[in-house]
Amino acid sequence: MATPAIEFRDVSLRYRLLAERGIVTLKEWVIRRLTTGMTYQELSALADVSFAVESGRTLGIIGHNGAGKSTLLRIAGGILAPTAGEAIIRGRIAPIIELGLGFEGELSGRENIFFNGALLGRSRNEMQERFDEIVDFSELGEFIEQPIRTYSTGMVARLAFAIATTVDAHILLLDEVLSVGDEQFRRKSKERIDSFRRAGVTILVVSHDLDAVEKMCDDAMWLEHGVIRRSGLAKEVVKAYRTSMDPGQAEPGVGGTVRLAGP
């Protein structure tokens, strides 16, 4: 196998949650921290996850809500550092497309294009050069001058997708972008993702749209409670996942019984 573009070696991520309730101000937080000592609860979002994505391949990540999919993508995008293990990313990453990430509500769409670019170390010049193309693809028109807080979720998603897919990148990270916006924009987005695949861009795509994962991805990974339940060719993993969700396919006689007690 060639050098992988993305490599996770026993990556774990634990979120720290404040166990105490009722803390509202920073001042109070500081006082409690100094006096009583704060207790934290830890939530394990990923546990010893290892995989590699060869350059130019598209990996679909599927699994139920809370499985750790977005967390994995944020680590790949350099937004979160793992609690343990190592994540190696080789190549220029496009901004992760995830609703509400990397945008400032009070700034206009125009300002956010530059803000978003700056977060990823793209120069103002580079963003300026791509500006018209981004606005054009996003179909926002004059709304580009309005604050983002006035946008619908579909509009935000369109802008996020347009920015991420217009800057030059070797690696594209997509979190649930196929399920927002209207049908026409989804089709346009899928076509653009296809053109990236043909150009050899490495893509990680999180989606609930199993048909799209089967069609768009070479490989798939099924996450469950922060661990890899199954990985392999997209078709096979999606099939196994579908089977697990279809009660008619479940193994009989496992667990309890169902009693139809009537009205």
Question: Which residue is nearest to Mg ion, using beta carbons?
Answer: 70
Helices (H), 15-123: 26-35, 69-76, 109-119
User: Does residue 45 interact with ligand ADP by CB under 6 A?
Assistant: yes
Instruction: Give the tokens for residue 225.
Output: 């409670």
193 contacts ligand ADP (rule: CB under 6 A): no
68 binds ligand ADP (CB under 6 A): yes
Minimum distance between the CB of residue 44 and ligand ADP, rounded to whole angstroms? Answer: 8
Give yes or no for residue 228 binding ligand ADP (CB under 6 A): no
SS3 201: coil
Binds 118: which of ligand ADP, Mg ion, none (CB < 5-8 Å by kind):
none
Which residues on adjacent β-strands are paired with residue 108? 147
**65 near ligand ADP, judged by CB under 6 A:** yes
Beta-ladder partners of 147: 108
43's contact among Mg ion, ligand ADP, none, with CB below 5 to 8 A by partner kind, is: ligand ADP
Q: Which of 11, 53, 59, 67 binds ligand ADP (CB under 6 A)?
A: 67
Residue 165 within binding range of ligand ADP, rule CB under 6 A: no
**113, two tokens:** 């294009």
- Distances from the Cα of 9 to the Cα of 21, 136, 149, 232, angstroms: 35, 40, 39, 17
Could you tell me the two tokens for 181? 């916006």
For residues 126 and 224, which CB has a smaller minimum distance to ligand ADP in the complex? 224
Biggest CA-to-CA distance, the chain: 69
70 lies in the site for ligand ADP, by CB under 6 A = yes
Cβ proximity to Mg ion, 70 vs 202, nearer residue:
70
Interface stretch with Mg ion, choices 9-17, 65-73, 141-149, 241-249 (CB under 5 A): 65-73
Q: For residue 69, state whether it binds ligand ADP (rule: CB under 6 A).
A: yes
Q: Which is nearer to ligand ADP, 89 or 96 (CB)?
A: 96
> Encoding tokens for residue 6?
């993305």
Are the CB atoms for 217 and 210 separated by under 8 Å? no
| 70 is a site residue for Mg ion (CB under 5 A) | yes
**84-89: strand order across its sheet:** 40-54, 4-18, 84-89
DSSP H or E stretch at residue 9: strand 4-18
Tokens of 144: 């580009």
Q: Which residues are near ligand ADP by CB under 6 A? A: 15, 17, 43, 45, 63, 65-71
Q: Which residues sit at the interface with Mg ion, rule CB under 5 A?
A: 69-70
